[in-house]
């Protein structure tokens, strides 16, 4: 992305706070970007956890993606609701619009996963403009902000973890995101499969037994068959998740790197899903490689 590019902000999930949204838009504009905001970005309806009706949220997302002037689409915030849009999007029309960048995290995992399957484009798992790490009144969290800027230019340094659960090195297309969303997609058209991939996992506010249940569901559904490595992000408000993470994941016999500041909390580093990445437990890092092989899925 370059100064002068046009980006869009839409709300495919929960309703953003208007003040935070305004600050986040101003900070994107401070990068020299032209920001257009979806018509229904502050929408409301009878279900208060959704930013308006499903059809309106889907229309905003599709319109932004298909606008030839728009080079990237930022999701305003997470929450819940992105998965409800997957059957409402015209994937053929969006494929015809050509590649661009989707940015978001948490509930946006549903879109990351579907965009990889339907459009075959890398997407950026990163902070969102109506969230505190970008829109705090005192300013964006500096490490989060600088890493996002670098990631948008595909120049971000590797993300450092702080814990090795199983040593080794692995390369593969990076997939995954929020554990709850991945588990919820089991049995759907977008059933997860991490064969030949590195999988990123993170979550917020889940008790260890619930993490156990979701990992067990994914394991029994075959999602981890053929996985090459596992990168564990943040587990904010999840107590001590590491006993269950070790119990469920170490029998897979692949490198497992933990303590990556990716997901929730601060800082929030940005990583490209659907692009080639590598985890190296010797350097305790997750890196995007961006070689020609990233298209060899």
For the stretch 169-228, pLDDT in tens is 999 999 999 999 999 999 999 999 999 999 999 999 999 999 999 999 999 999 999 999
Residue 1 inside a domain? The answer is no
20 and 116 in one domain? yes
Q: What's the rounded Cα separation, in Å, for the pair 212 and 227?
A: 18
The CATH number of the domain holding residue 212 is 3.50.30.60
Residue ending a domain, among 109, 124, 152, is 152
Active site residue 202: yes
178 and 87 in one domain? no
Residue ending a domain, among 98, 132, 152, is 152
Annotated catalytic residue within 141, 202, 206, 294: 202
95 and 204 in one domain? no
Predicted TM-score (pTM) of this structure: 0.94
For the stretch 60-104, pLDDT in tens is 999 999 999 999 999 999 999 999 999 999 999 999 999 999 999
Q: What's the rounded Cα separation, in Å, for the pair 146 and 44?
A: 33
Residue ending a domain, among 152, 179, 198, is 152
Annotated catalytic residue within 71, 171, 264, 270: 264
Q: What's the rounded Cα separation, in Å, for the pair 151 and 269?
A: 9
Place 290 in a pLDDT band, splitting at 50, 70 and 90: low
Of 42, 53, 190, the residue nearest 116 (C-alpha): 190
CB atoms within 10 A of CB 240: 9
List, as one string, the DSSP characters of 90-118. Answer: -HHHHHHT---EEEE-GGGHHHHHHHHHH
The CATH number of the domain holding residue 94 is 3.40.50.10740
Tokens for 276, please give them. 């080639």
166 and 288 in one domain? yes
Active site residue 106: yes
Helix (H) or strand (E) holding 76: none
Domain that includes residue 213, residue range: 159-295
Annotated catalytic residue within 13, 71, 106, 180: 106
Domain count, the chain: 2
């Amino acid at each position: 992305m370059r100064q002068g590019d046009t980006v869009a902000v839409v709300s495919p999930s929960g309703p953003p706070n208007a003040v935070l949204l305004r600050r986040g838009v101003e900070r994107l504009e401070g990068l020299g970007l032209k920001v257009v905001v979806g018509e229904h970005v502050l929408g409301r309806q009878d279900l208060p956890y959704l930013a308006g009706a499903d059809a309106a949220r889907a229309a905003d997302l599709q319109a932004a993606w298909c606008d030839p002037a728009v080079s990237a689409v930022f999701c305003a915030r997470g929450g819940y609701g992105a998965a409800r849009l997957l059957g409402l999007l015209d994937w053929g029309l969006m494929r015809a619009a050509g590649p661009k960048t989707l940015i978001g995290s948490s509930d946006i995992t549903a879109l990351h996963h579907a965009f990889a399957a339907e459009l075959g484009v890398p997407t950026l798992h990163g902070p969102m403009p109506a969230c505190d790490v970008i829109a705090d009144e005192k300013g964006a969290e500096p490490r989060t902000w600088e890493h996002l800027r670098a990631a948008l230019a595909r120049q971000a340094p590797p993300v450092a973890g702080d814990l090795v659960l199983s040593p080794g090195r692995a390369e593969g297309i990076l997939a995954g995101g929020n554990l709850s969303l991945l588990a919820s997609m089991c049995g759907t058209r977008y059933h997860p499969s991490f064969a030949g991939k590195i999988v990123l996992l993170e979550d917020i506010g889940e008790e260890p037994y619930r993490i156990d249940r979701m990992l067990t569901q994914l394991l029994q559904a075959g999602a981890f068959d053929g996985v090459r490595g596992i990168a564990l992000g943040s587990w904010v408000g999840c107590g001590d998740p590491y006993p269950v993470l070790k119990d469920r994941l170490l029998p897979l016999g692949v490198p497992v790197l933990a303590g990556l500041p990716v997901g929730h909390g601060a800082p929030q580093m940005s990583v490209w899903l659907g692009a080639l990445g590598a985890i190296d437990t010797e350097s305790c890092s997750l890196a995007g490689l961006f070689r020609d092989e990233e298209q060899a899925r």
